[in-house]
Amino acid sequence: MEEAQRRALRRGRARLVEALQVAPLWDPLEERGLFTRTMVEELQSAGSRGDQARQLVIDLETRGKQAFPVFLSILRDTGQGDLADMLIKECECPPVSPQLVDLRPVELDLRGEKRNKNVNFPERLSIPVQAESERPQMPPVPARGSAVDKRNRDLVYELKADPCGHCLILNNVEFSGDTNLSTRDGSNVDCKKLEKRFKSLHFDVLIRHDLKAQEMVSELQKLARRDHRALDCCIVVILSHGCQMSHNQFPGGVYGTDGKPIPIEKIVNYFNGSNCPSLRGKPKLFFIQACGGEQRDRGFPVDSDSPGNEAPGGSLESDATPFRTLSGGTDEPDAVASLPTPSDILVSYSTFPGFVSWRDASRGSWYVETLDNVLEQHARSEDLLNMLTLVANAVSGKGRYKQIPGYFNFLRKKFFFMCK
């Protein structure tokens, strides 16, 4: 599609969302080859009529050179010629000079908000807002089954190998009696879910159960020393008790079954560009289901339309243990080795540093259950960061106690899982 045609769709999007009647379009869009039946069904599931219209306009930009004239023809055939005429006019208009962008101040009144006693907020903030037609447009979400935004291929990690990489899952459930660490009931549920999920996403999955700290280190080092040159990615999943630890880069630590902690940053650094050359430039993903500390978050009052789902009934446990440091009060030397650039690394935490992470004895942890559901529903169309945002939003609305997952992102590109 030519840039003038893309610009016309973007400028006309507001009117199309308001007026476009999408129901008569679905059959002609499929019959004339603009969308497959699967794509049409996905558009129909986007929500309200306006939501469907918005997604249709966004996806049109990805449908090739003939998409714009064919869409105009379908509009006229379905009695919506006025919208076709509007798009033609927008297409003929020259691009607006940056100096002519409409910047309209919008005032946000913060006087009714509760404020921190130690912070003085201004009574009003004036924020320039661009007109919708001139705002920078986000790239369209790839169509279902397509893992790459074709127009921004250089900003997307390419996964061509099958399997696309190794996935190591370390699952600690039973801990030595002298550690005072409880059995992690429900963790095997998490493990089975993630094994099935990552196999479906074309990873070679290896699982190790109930390892002491040094055994965990050995498995991680063994994986880091493997030849990954023919592969495109690597995933490490750790399901264990966790704690706060002093750190330079990545917070937190996880326990072996012998009660000895391993700093997260030590685990991550086994796979950095210096220690694992065959993964240089390739995404290395870490998913940590463990507590970041022992604080319990009761949340704060919100409006009635904010998330408020209660967790299903069951035995609720946490993976918390108190803050501790290693001998001498500092981390081991390997844990603080600096990275020139921590590139192509993402560490996803089940909870905010310092807080507990909740786990249901029968259904598994909130974090893994939600992550698995989001991957099932959105891995074909959404990049990893978008999906982790969905996970955080869903988990944050659960239960009497609160939990908010987060991540440290040093990926250089967007990451889409391989889906068939």
Residues noted as catalytic: 241, 291
CA 74, 43, 48: angle at the middle one, nearest 5? 100
Task: Write the single-letter amino acid at 332.
Answer: E
- Residue 46 near residue 141, CB atoms below 8 Å: no
Q: Sheet holding 406-410: strands in order across?
A: 203-209, 165-171, 233-239, 284-289, 345-349, 406-410
